[in-house]
Amino acid sequence: MSRIDAKFAELRAAGRKAFVAYVMGGDPDYETSLQIVKGMPAAGVDVIELGVPFTDPMADGPTIQLAGQRALAGGQTLRKTLDMVRALREEDDTTPVVLMGYYNPIYSLGVDNFLAAATEAGVDGLIIVDLPPEEDDELCIPAQKAGLNFVRLATPTTDDKRLPKVLENTSGFVYYVSITGITGAAVAQATEVGPEVARIKAATDLPVIVGFGIKTPEAAEAIASVADGSVVGSAIVEKIASGQSVPDVLAFVESLAAGAHRA
């Protein structure tokens, strides 16, 4: 059982929904980013999504793109992002960490080298937004063999014909993208998300977590009420971008987590 499976089993047993938080590794700099990541479990974060900066982030809106640019300008790399996970594991061996990003940095490092380094560092799962199911042999299957969950995105355009293919090799949880388009661009609506989550849950036993367009504790609660949990990324990254202190960023994260946990 992976850390992700164990966390969702624990949440299910407690009758609680999950709160998943995203930050870009190395934004605004390595040390500040690491402090935020280390503070997340105490702030109520159930799963940490750690972004790997990339020069051409096609699925990301301006907020996440700028975070990636700041991280890259500060010298952040895939290996340094793994170092952050390793540092977290020195004091937290239970909170799941999912790396989120694009295939190019992994391809450049080499899949075997990456998987060995990721498992050694304590990574639990991967969300690679530009690898469709048709390319599962590239990374998804090797990652699963290495003991990492491969989390797949489903979207409003994932119809009933496409859904089985998307779910085929997915593990850990399904990440439902509540809106079409790029990150941070619109506001998620629980009335629209609920039926889509139900449709996906009818096809899989995996938890379905909803992200994109969730910016407030109230929205985190509303979305979690119709899913197995909610994800917030851009709204947290905006706090970091505005220069807020680590305690202030974590206080905002804690308010979002409390919202999701009320659901």
Cis peptide upstream of residue 247 (ω within 30 degrees of 0): no
Q: With cut-offs at 50, 70 and 90, classify the pLDDT of residue 215.
A: very high
18 three-state secondary structure: strand
> What's the rounded mean pLDDT across residues 97-123?
98
pLDDT at 28 > cutoff 80: yes
- The end-to-end CA distance of the chain, in Å, is 26
What is the token pair recorded at 129? 């937004």
Task: Count CB-CB contacts under 10 A for residue 79.
Answer: 13
Positions marked catalytic: 49, 60
Rounded to an integer, what distance in angstroms lies between the CA atom of residue 46 and that of residue 41? 7
Find out whether 45 and 257 touch, Cβ atoms under 8 Å.
Answer: yes
The pTM (predicted TM-score) of the whole model is: 0.96
pLDDT at 63 > cutoff 90: yes
Q: Which of 146-150, 184-188, 192-196 has the highest mean pLDDT?
A: 146-150
> What's the rounded mean pLDDT across residues 211-228?
95
Per-chain mean pLDDT for the chain: 95
Of 8-12, 75-79, 188-192, the range with the lowest mean pLDDT is 188-192
Q: Mind giving me the DSSP string for 148-167?
A: -EE-EEE-TT--TTTHHHHH
Find out whether 52 and 78 touch, Cβ atoms under 8 Å.
Answer: yes
CA dist list (Å): 130 to 12, 13, 30, 80, 218: 31, 34, 25, 22, 31
Q: With cut-offs at 50, 70 and 90, classify the pLDDT of residue 61.
A: confident
Ordered structural domains, the chain, with CATH: 3-262 (3.20.20.70)
17 three-state secondary structure: coil
Please name the amino acid found at residue 187.
V
Q: What is the pLDDT of residue 58?
A: 84
Task: Count CB-CB contacts under 10 A for residue 21.
Answer: 27
Rounded to an integer, what distance in angstroms lies between the CA atom of residue 178 and that of residue 69? 25
Q: What is the pLDDT of residue 152?
A: 97
Q: What is the pLDDT of residue 182?
A: 59
